[in-house]
Structure 1
Amino acid sequence: MNFRRIAFGAAGAAGVVVLLEAVSRAGLIDETALPPASTVLGEAGKLAVDQDFLLDVGATIRAWFGGLALAVLVAVPLGVLLGSVPLLGTASRALVELLRPIPSVALIPLAIILFADPTQMKMSLIFYACLWPILINTLYALRDVDPVAKESLRAFGFGTPSVLWRVSLPSAAPFITTGVRIAASVALIVVVSTELLAGGVNGVGIYLSSTQAGGGRTDLLLAGAVWAGVLGLLANLALLGLERVAFRWHSARVEGIA
């Protein structure tokens, strides 16, 4: 089943590449606006051995991973606390719903003022953007834990901490991991957008911006965007693989129900 999914995904990607190549070669769209897919992929291949571009990728990954890791360290314990103590969860609900819709890019001017270091500035915005999907997933995961399992444990004399550790967290863990996986994609969008809008020294977004200087090179812009997509794909596959290995019992149950 997994092989079929990979094959279908690869076929879909190849079909899009062929379609874009045909549209550009047929002259339906100006090649300066949309270069042939083969040209873009060729430039992307050159970027793989370009030391300057690799430095940009490294800077983006450092900020991306740092902000995401910080969000996990804060959001998961906070979500467990708010989800386990109903009074705190109710009291904080209005604040969470007020702050959650604020786009992180709207906070770029504030982040620039607060953080002189570009990496710290990017990490702060990534942290803010990733906090909410992880927190919300944690909250809803804890609310959906089977109450019968919790009450059964309490009937045997286990206290609240034991119920949380033995039942609630194991049941919620797969959904928390899904929140982290969603947040990883959000983090990549935020870090590249921040680099594009706020500037800096290194980063994939800085590279994308530089390709438009002096007349613009759309082929280089799209080649850099391809690598941004590859980074997101690799991160998603890594987290998905970790999720399947760590929570194999959950995957088996879901596939059995499906």
Structure 2
Amino acid sequence: MQSPGDQTVTRSVAAVQAKSRRRRYRPRRALLGLAGILTLLAIWEIAARVGLVDPRFLPPPSEVLPRLLEIATIAPFWIAVGDTLVQWGLGLAIALVLASVTGVVIGLSPFLRRATSSTVEFLRPVPSVALIPLAVLLFGVRIEASLLLIVYAAFWQIFIQVLYGVADVDKIAMDTGQSYGFSTWQRIRDIVFPTTLPYLMTGIRLAAAVALILAITAQLIIGTPGLGLEIARAQNAGLYTTMYALVLATGFLGVLINFGARFLERALLSWHHSVRGEIPV
């Protein structure tokens, strides 16, 4: 039977081995991801060249990628990217504050959780795009119209995760904190928040992607400034190569946002087992 000291050493060795395996497999995952992208581009190129699709309406990537590099050198492109990021970031920030506060308040109250469960289940499945007529009637083509859609969609992604996190809080820890005279704020800060944080970060990662989708959708349909509006203009003008170049730009933007969300998640949850990847022995 191992002594406590031996068990500690064994766990430390296991953690080092797990970290080494993750580092070893990262290049392999990166290569597999790159192979998938290259395969998709090759299929796209072949389909356009052999006539499986009309190259007038779906130009090959050998034409689209150079066009993307070309428009990336002009100011209007970056202005559109900036408008998209402003709407995305502002909508996500508003949703984060609203969902976090509301989720903690409702999650800590069994009465409120029961009283709001039917309302939540009724509103959550409503697609944000169904609110486009309301957004246009209220705000026209101003940025507020995009924010309405973004906040509504991102709110539910974060809110539901916060509810799960609060429900996972150890009741014994809460009772212990109360017996030691912790105030409500101290219990939220020292007990509820650490337990809820992994769920919250998952909600933020999901909401970040959804917020970008709704920002582009609002720009496409409503006409608020951004990449979506530029895509619609290119389509209406018959500039299909430019249109697909802008579509690829939105895809690259989504990848960068996802990487950023995962980096933030790893940085804030470095203490959590899901990030450390320790193997129990």
TM-score with structure 1 setting the length: 0.91
Secondary structure in 1 matching 2:68: helix
Aligned runs of 1:60-71 on 2, under 5 Å?
A: 60-71=84-95
Picking from 264, 270, 280, the partner of 1:242 is 264
In the alignment, residue 60 of structure 2 is paired with which amino acid?
Answer: P
- Give yes or no for the alignment of 1:25 onto 2:49: yes
Q: Counterpart of 1:230?
A: 252
Task: Please give the alpha-carbon distance, in whole angstroms, between the structure 2 residues aligned to 1:194 and 1:163.
Answer: 40
Q: Is the 8 A contact 1:244 1:251 kept in 2?
A: no
Aligned runs of 1:101-112 on 2, under 5 Å?
A: 101-112=125-136
In the alignment, residue 227 of structure 1 is paired with which amino acid?
Answer: A
Q: How far did 1:161 drift?
A: 4.0
Task: Please give the alpha-carbon distance, in whole angstroms, between the structure 2 residues aligned to 1:83 and 1:36.
Answer: 51
Task: Please give the alpha-carbon distance, in whole angstroms, between the structure 2 residues aligned to 1:236 and 1:31.
Answer: 31
Secondary structure in 2 matching 1:212: helix
In the alignment, residue 257 of structure 2 is paired with which amino acid?
Answer: A
Task: Please give the alpha-carbon distance, in whole angstroms, between the structure 1 residues aligned to 2:246 and 2:227.
Answer: 7
Q: How far did 1:9 drift?
A: 1.4
CA 1:20–1:253: 2 relative to 1, 3 Å:
closer
Secondary structure in 1 matching 2:272: helix
CA 1:206–1:180: 2 relative to 1, 3 Å:
same
Q: How far did 1:152 drift?
A: 4.9
Q: How far did 1:255 drift?
A: 2.4
In the alignment, residue 252 of structure 2 is paired with which amino acid?
Answer: V
Give 5+ residue unaligned stretches, structure 1.
Answer: none
Aligned runs of 1:86-235 on 2, under 5 Å?
A: 86-116=110-140, 118-154=142-178, 156=180, 158=182, 160-200=184-224, 202-214=225-237, 216-235=238-257
Q: What whole-Å deviation, never above 9, does each CA across 1:144-196 have from its counterpart, x for those lacking one?
A: 23445445545655455433321221111021011011111111111111111
In the alignment, residue 59 of structure 1 is paired with which amino acid?
Answer: D
TM-score with structure 2 setting the length: 0.84
Aligned runs of 1:44-63 on 2, under 5 Å?
A: 44-63=68-87
Q: What whole-Å deviation, never above 9, does each CA across 1:204-239 have from its counterpart, x for those lacking one?
A: 11111111224x232222111111111111111111
Pick which of 238-247 and 114-123 moved more: 114-123
Q: How far did 1:197 drift?
A: 1.1
CA 1:208–1:122: 2 relative to 1, 3 Å:
same
Task: Please give the alpha-carbon distance, in whole angstroms, between the structure 2 residues aligned to 1:2 and 1:246.
Answer: 21
Task: Please give the alpha-carbon distance, in whole angstroms, between the structure 2 residues aligned to 1:125 and 1:139.
Answer: 22
Q: Is the 8 A contact 2:141 2:223 kept in 1?
A: no
Give 5+ residue unaligned stretches, structure 2.
Answer: 1-24
Task: Please give the alpha-carbon distance, in whole angstroms, between the structure 2 residues aligned to 1:207 and 1:138.
Answer: 36
Q: Is the 8 A contact 2:165 2:199 kept in 1?
A: yes
Q: What whole-Å deviation, never above 9, does each CA across 1:51-72 have from its counterpart, x for those lacking one?
A: 2222222111111111111111
Q: Is the 8 A contact 2:269 2:275 kept in 1?
A: no
Pick which of 80-89 and 5-14 moved more: 5-14
Secondary structure in 2 matching 1:199: coil
Task: Please give the alpha-carbon distance, in whole angstroms, between the structure 2 residues aligned to 1:80 and 1:2.
Answer: 36
Aligned-residue sequence identity (percent) comes to 37
Count of residue pairs brought into register by the alignment:
256
Pick which of 220-229 and 161-170 moved more: 161-170
